[in-house]
Amino acid sequence: MPDTLVDAAIEDCRERMARVVEHTKAEFGGIRTGRAAPALVEKLRVEYYGAEVPLQQLAGIHVPEPRTLLITPYEKGQASLKAIEKAILSSDLGVTPSNDGAVVRLVFPILTAERRKELAKVAHHKAEEGRVAVRNLRRGARKDLESFEKDGEISNDELERAEKELDKLTHDHTSEIDRLLAHKEQELLNG
């Protein structure tokens, strides 16, 4: 029984840390690099018939050219086009949409060196948020394990083994975030 308590706590922590890494990766996907990517707009909230809906549920998003995004609403008509345009204009993308009556076209300008550095800082901030979240998960799991030991449910040796495993998990997940950050930085600064 004690092994299952420790294993369950560690497995729960592993799953949560993996979700943090995935969330951080998604956050990086929303940082513009001078190239068009559906990830830049697919989670954008669009006010449509009184409800906020992610853009990906309202329209198809395509990349016909490296710096152009084409957004084709599933429902034909001006209401969806206007709602999508409004959401893009109110976002922090810094791109003005053009509408030809059937699709919304976004043309991304080439980023200046200064803007690339600003976006690299944003990426660093998002990576740090991810690392802090991973460390907080380790702290929470460690607290749970210490209470198991205090209650006599696991031995001190099992606690030490579990803490070493938690430290390794934390290191692995923060390293993954660092690797993703390095890739994003490379993409931003050399884009």
Is the same domain home to 98 and 129?
no
Number of domains in the chain: 2
For the cut 80, the answer to whether the pLDDT of residue 21 exceeds it is yes
Is the same domain home to 103 and 116?
no
* Residue range 110-125, pLDDT digits in tens: 878 888 888 889 899 9
Is the same domain home to 142 and 181?
yes
Q: Contact 144/108 with Cβ under 8 angstroms?
A: no
User: What's residue 42's pLDDT?
Assistant: 79
Going by pLDDT thresholds of 50, 70 and 90, the confidence category of residue 53 is confident
Which amino acid, residue 27?
E
Is the same domain home to 96 and 144?
no
Look up the domain containing 19 and give its range: 2-30+112-190
3-state DSSP helix/strand/coil percent for the chain, to nearest 5? 65, 15, 25
Say which residue, 24 or 2, is predicted with more confidence. 24
Is the same domain home to 25 and 55?
no
**CA–CA dist 54, 79 (Å, integer):** 16
Percent of the chain residues topping a pLDDT of 90: 35
Which of 107, 136, 163 is where one domain is finished?
107
Which of 57, 86, 107 is where one domain is finished?
107
Query: Which token pair is 10?
Result: 């560690």
pTM: 0.71
**CA–CA dist 32, 152 (Å, integer):** 52
Which of 107, 131, 147 is where one domain is finished?
107
* Residue range 77-132, pLDDT digits in tens: 777 888 888 888 888 777 888 888 888 898 888 878 888 888 889 899 999 999 99
Is the same domain home to 167 and 76?
no
Q: Contact 19/25 with Cβ under 8 angstroms?
A: no
For the cut 80, the answer to whether the pLDDT of residue 36 exceeds it is no
**CA–CA dist 12, 30 (Å, integer):** 28
**Torsions phi, psi for 137 (to 5 deg):** -65, -40
Is the same domain home to 72 and 120?
no
